[in-house]
């Protein structure tokens, strides 16, 4: 626990501040409506449900304001660039944008549920007090009509006994927009489940973009002023604590207390979401402009295991190691954009991606490029955008861990290392790199086999054999492969990859790997970079915490994960 706080103290601080602001806004709004003089008469009809509804609405507005910021990828990339000289802990917060986006979404769901339940009670009490004939203060307040001659005196929006809760919900602006917002939110949240995103990405993609309806509905939700309070002028003349008990004499012209006047609350939600909405609008305009710039495909390679490599050029394109782009193929879908990590190095005169068949869109893309007699499909590119992998050369020791196609960001890093050594640029802060690649089948090693062989030779020729350490693991094999490898274990090169580093069978024993690295580098800061499944992420996070020393002068492991 101590190691976890040591590595993530700023993330914890940001989380506490966000939760603290939610609590403050909720309590502040709750007390305002529960204790304020303005809503004394409103509480006579609605009770505490009024405060619950308005407090949750305040938090809904606050979190709806925040939820778009983590999705402004150009803004985050700009901040990452301007923070290139900032402390590592500060830059790492930008890597948690999707996590924060999800947390804010969960908070919106929570307060939406509170808001809906509270308003169901409110509508029921509006209906009950309107139909009441007991002569109570609530029934008198509900009988105040829109047609009163003196001012805007009505308090209960349900003006007739025939008006039902359902009718009120579907015909009023707040009620109807509330229904629409709730439906949209349910669709967005359910389609964002891990199973849907992995297996039916298109469903997630299209459904998530109805957020526009959510924000439009939220912006006009408060129009109509259903929640009403006593006017300031009326409070001065007829204070509720002085006049409420004499409500039966309000119609007496000779009595000093008169019937109170009420006003509706003005719409507030648009004030919260206007700035982030404008920012996100310009974000999308910038991305649209960049995506329309022409992309020329210079090379197409089909690798084993149904992996497509595309090499492209684009005017003005500039990248850093480990970054990613969004790719669109209009012949498949005009609207769908899919993220892919760049596998090229900044030193190359092209940029490339590797695409593995992992869904309908990627399968259709591969089929489009496999067709021999048809023209090359048009590709649109948006990006590049920054990731945690950009910081790889900021660590003394780096552990690069890729699972299957998750090796792509590290291909960019390894290529960049090769170019740096080719140009005698040995002034790297990084002293040692441990590269782990976990594959299910032997064909996957062919994706970057030439690169790995070149790097191995380059390190040997430059006298830097210990700088780059390969750890290749094969998790799926048959007895013939294992037996053949055992018989040829004494050979200089591995029979599967042709590298001098041998391929291991099975999964890495991470406790052993971390323990060994901590022993070899007792006073180093180790950056652990992962592009792989969630189960592996949990394991590596645990190891980073377990093997980081409480003494800041000794080994520290910092976990970094690709998120897009």
Statement: residue 510 has pLDDT above 80: yes
- pLDDT tens string 65-118: 999 988 888 888 777 766 555 556 666 777 778 889 999 999 999 999 999 999
pLDDT band at 5 (very low <50, low <70, confident <90, very high): low
Residue 480 is predicted with a pLDDT of 60
Higher pLDDT among residues 120 and 562, named by residue: 120
Which residue shows structure tokens 């980081």?
Answer: 548
Residues whose CB falls within 8 Å of the CB of residue 256, separated by 6 or more in sequence, listed in order: none
Higher pLDDT among residues 114 and 230, named by residue: 114
- Distance, in Å, from the CA atom of 34 to the CA atom of 54, rounded to the nearest integer, reads 10
- Distance, in Å, from the CA atom of 485 to the CA atom of 544, rounded to the nearest integer, reads 32
- Distance, in Å, from the CA atom of 420 to the CA atom of 417, rounded to the nearest integer, reads 5
Residue 376 is predicted with a pLDDT of 85
Which stretch, 160-164, 187-191, 242-246, 304-308, has highest mean pLDDT?
A: 187-191
Q: Which two tokens stand for residue 383?
A: 């990006």
Residue 2 is predicted with a pLDDT of 47
User: In 3-state terms, what secondary structure has residue 302?
Assistant: strand
Cα 106 to the chain's mean position, in Å? 11
Cα 357 to the chain's mean position, in Å? 24
Burial of 492 (0-12, 13-18, 19+ CB in 10 A): exposed
- pLDDT tens string 246-298: 777 777 776 777 788 888 888 888 999 999 999 999 988 988 888 888 889 99
Cα 279 to the chain's mean position, in Å? 17
* pLDDT above 90: percentage of residues in the chain: 17
Higher pLDDT among residues 451 and 473, named by residue: 473
Residue 415 is predicted with a pLDDT of 83
- 96-111 burial, b if ≥16 CB within 10 A, otherwise e? bbeebbebbbebbbeb
CA-wise closest residue to 410 among 388, 379, 443, 429: 388
Which residue shows structure tokens 């039916």?
Answer: 200
Q: Which helix (H) or strand (E) holds 180?
A: helix 173-191
Averaged pLDDT for residues 543-559: 84
Residue 148 is predicted with a pLDDT of 47
Q: Which two tokens stand for residue 532?
A: 């792989």
Full-model pTM: 0.79
- pLDDT tens string 115-164: 999 998 888 888 888 887 777 888 888 777 654 444 567 888 877 767 77
- Distance, in Å, from the CA atom of 371 to the CA atom of 269, rounded to the nearest integer, reads 52
Statement: residue 462 has pLDDT above 60: yes
- pLDDT tens string 33-64: 999 888 888 888 888 999 999 999 999 999 99
Which residue shows structure tokens 């590596």?
Answer: 540
Of 15-24, 174-183, 441-450, the one with minimum mean pLDDT is 441-450
Q: What are phi and psi of 250, to 5 degrees?
A: -60, -30
- Distance, in Å, from the CA atom of 187 to the CA atom of 169, rounded to the nearest integer, reads 20
* pLDDT above 70: percentage of residues in the chain: 87
Higher pLDDT among residues 311 and 258, named by residue: 311
Q: How does DSSP classify residue 526? A: E
Residues whose CB falls within 8 Å of the CB of residue 102, separated by 6 or more in sequence, listed in order: 192
pLDDT band at 498 (very low <50, low <70, confident <90, very high): low
Which domains, and CATH codes, for the chain? 2-283 (no CATH), 292-385 (2.40.30.10), 395-404+429-443+465-476+492-533+542-564 (3.40.50.80)
Statement: residue 443 has pLDDT above 70: no
Higher pLDDT among residues 256 and 362, named by residue: 362
Averaged pLDDT for residues 329-357: 86
Q: Which helix (H) or strand (E) holds 341?
A: strand 338-341
Burial of 555 (0-12, 13-18, 19+ CB in 10 A): buried
Residues whose CB falls within 8 Å of the CB of residue 446, separated by 6 or more in sequence, listed in order: 303, 304
**Average pLDDT, whole number, for the chain?**
82
Q: Which two tokens stand for residue 375?
A: 């023209």
Statement: residue 7 has pLDDT above 60: no
Of 138-152, 384-398, 405-419, the one with minimum mean pLDDT is 138-152
Residue 181 is predicted with a pLDDT of 93
Averaged pLDDT for residues 16-21: 94
Of 190-194, 215-219, 432-436, 484-488, the one with minimum mean pLDDT is 484-488
List 436's β-bridge partners, or say none.
401, 471
Residue 156 is predicted with a pLDDT of 81
- Beta carbons of 36 and 136 less than 8 angstroms apart: no
Residue 90 is predicted with a pLDDT of 67
Residue 149 is predicted with a pLDDT of 44
CA distances from 314 to 334, 342, 346, 384, 429 (A): 20, 14, 13, 11, 31
């Amino acid at each position: 626990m101590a190691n976890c706080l040591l590595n993530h103290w700023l993330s914890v601080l940001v989380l506490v501040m966000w939760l603290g602001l939610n609590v403050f806004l909720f309590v502040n709004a709750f007390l305002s409506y529960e204790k304020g003089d303005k809503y004394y008469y409103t509480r006579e009809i609605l009770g505490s449900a009024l405060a619950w509804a308005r407090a949750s609405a305040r938090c809904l507005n606050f979190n709806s304001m925040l939820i778009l910021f983590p999705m402004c990828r150009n803004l985050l990339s700009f901040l990452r660039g301007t923070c290139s000289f900032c402390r590592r802990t500060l830059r790492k917060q930008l890597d948690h944008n999707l996590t924060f986006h999800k947390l804010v979404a969960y908070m919106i769901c929570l307060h939406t549920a509170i808001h809906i339940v509270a308003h169901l009670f409110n509508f029921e009490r509006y209906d009950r007090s309107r139909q009441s004939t007991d002569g109570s203060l609530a029934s008198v307040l509900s009988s105040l009509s829109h047609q009163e001659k003196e001012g805007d005196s009505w308090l209960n929006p349900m003006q007739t006994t025939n008006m039902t809760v359902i009718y009120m919900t579907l015909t009023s602006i707040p009620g109807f927009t509330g229904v629409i917002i709730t439906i949209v939110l349910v669709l967005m949240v359910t389609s964002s489940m891990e199973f849907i995103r992995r297996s039916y990405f298109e469903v997630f993609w299209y459904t998530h973009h109805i957020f526009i309806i959510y924000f439009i509905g939220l912006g006009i939700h408060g129009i109509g002023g259903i929640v009403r309070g006593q006017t300031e002028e009326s409070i001065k003349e007829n204070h509720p604590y002085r006049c409420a008990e004499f409500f039966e004499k309000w119609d007496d012209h000779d009595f000093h207390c008169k019937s109170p006047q009420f006003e509706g609350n003005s719409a507030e939600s648009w004030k919260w979401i206007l700035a982030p909405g404008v920012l996100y609008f310009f974000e999308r305009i910038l991305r649209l402009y960049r995506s329309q710039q022409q992309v020329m495909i210079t090379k197409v390679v089909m690798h084993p295991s149904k992996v497509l490599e595309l090499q492209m050029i684009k005017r003005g394109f500039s990248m850093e190691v480990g970054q990613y782009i969004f790719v669109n193929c209009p012949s498949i879908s005009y609207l769908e954009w899919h993220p892919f990590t760049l596998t090229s190095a900044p030193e190359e005169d092209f940029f490339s991606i590797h695409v593995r068949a992992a869904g309908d869109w990627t399968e259709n893309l591969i089929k489009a490029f496999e067709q021999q007699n048809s023209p090359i499909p048009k590709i649109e590119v948006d990006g590049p955008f920054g990731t945690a992998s950009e910081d790889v050369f900021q660590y003394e020791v780096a552990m690069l861990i890729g699972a299957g196609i998750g090796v792509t960001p590290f291909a960019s890093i390894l290529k960049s290392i090769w170019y740096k050594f080719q140009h005698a640029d040995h002034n790297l802060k990084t002293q040692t790199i441990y590269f782990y690649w976990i594959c299910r089948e032997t064909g996957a090693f062919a994706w970057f086999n030439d690169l790995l062989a070149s790097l191995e030779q380059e390190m040997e020729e430059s006298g830097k054999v210990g700088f780059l350490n390969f750890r290749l693991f094969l998790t799926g094999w048959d007895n013939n492969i294992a037996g053949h490898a055992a018989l040829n274990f004494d050979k200089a090169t591995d029979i599967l990859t042709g590298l001098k580093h041998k391929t291991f069978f099975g999964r890495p024993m991470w406790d052993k790997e971390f323990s060994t690295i901590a022993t070899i580098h007792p006073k180093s800061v180790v950056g652990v970079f992962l592009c792989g499944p969630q189960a592996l992420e949990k394991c590596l996070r645990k190891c980073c915490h377990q093997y980081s020393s409480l003494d800041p002068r000794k080994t520290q492991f910092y976990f970094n994960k690709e998120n897009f």
